[in-house]
A and B are shown apart, each in its own frame.
Chain A
Amino acid sequence: QVQLVQSGAEVKKPGASVKVSCKASGYTFTNYFIHWVRQAPGQGLEWMGVINPSGGSTTYAQKFQGRVSVTRDTSTTTVHMELNSLTSEDTAVYYCARDHIVSNSYGLDVWGQGTTVTVSS
């Protein structure tokens, strides 16, 4: 079945980096963008960025420019999101979700289970 499976929870110290992975299965990897969305405790959803697994091109929210990097490995159908210079404000659940490449009319129809990242000294 179609699924996105994310890596496990992380605890990091301020100033460190975190890398979260998202493994896709059950569909053609290069036919869907992968987006990253985060949710701080008790807060709403915040869009971070997107990658086109076909060519590897990325678009990031201005807020995260220079601090986030999203890459893909087509051999393992896995997308990675790395966030640098962590602060306590980055404590959140991080989700990956897919979006059809053909059109931006279809919404994020499959989501990963979420990865909790805790930043604490």
Chain B
Amino acid sequence: DIQMTQSPSSLSASIGDRVTITCRASHTIGGYLHWYQQRPGKAPNLLIYAASNLQSGVPSRFSGSGSGTEFTLTISSLQADDVAIYYCQQSHSPPRTFGQGTRVEIK
């Protein structure tokens, strides 16, 4: 199975800060990497697909990059509405494993 490792596990930043989350795959996965946001008590929501493509309706402050084994999710200017847990997921091969999540809070 492909293991997905996110860092950091949690972070606290101020409104307006630039925030970066990293996701590393144990094997190369090309660009088959997606990012999700999960607010408390809600279902996950797709933010970025295929490493760098912004899902329709998602604010442009979110962006993704990377390929192979290392990927990043960036929030260019953190907003209060961004408090959530963020997960990466690979779709290169089954099982479609997720990272362990990164909790984002406001300082």
Contact = CB atoms under 8 A, between A and B. Distances in A.
Nearest to B96: A47
Nearest to B95: A61
Interface stretch (A24-32, A81-89, A110-118): A110-118
Q: Is the interface of B mostly helix, strand, loop or mixed?
A: loop
A111 B45 contact: yes
Contacts of A109: 46, 49, 55
B94 A107 contact: no
A111 B34 CA distance: 14
Contacts of A104: 32, 91-92
B98 interface: yes
Given A44-B87, A107-B49, A107-B50, A112 B98 contact: no
A95 B42 CA distance: 11
Chain B CB count within 10 A is highest, among A62, A105, A109, for: A105
A108 interface: yes
A74 interface: no
Contacts of B97: 47
Interface of A: 35, 37, 44-47, 50, 59, 61-62, 95, 97, 99, 104-109, 111-114
The 10 lowest CB-CB distance pairs between A and B, nearest first, are A107-B34, A107-B49, A111-B43, A61-B95, A104-B91, A45-B98, A105-B50, A47-B96, A44-B101, A107-B46
Interface of B: 1, 31-32, 34, 36, 38, 43-46, 48-50, 55, 85, 87, 89, 91-92, 94-101
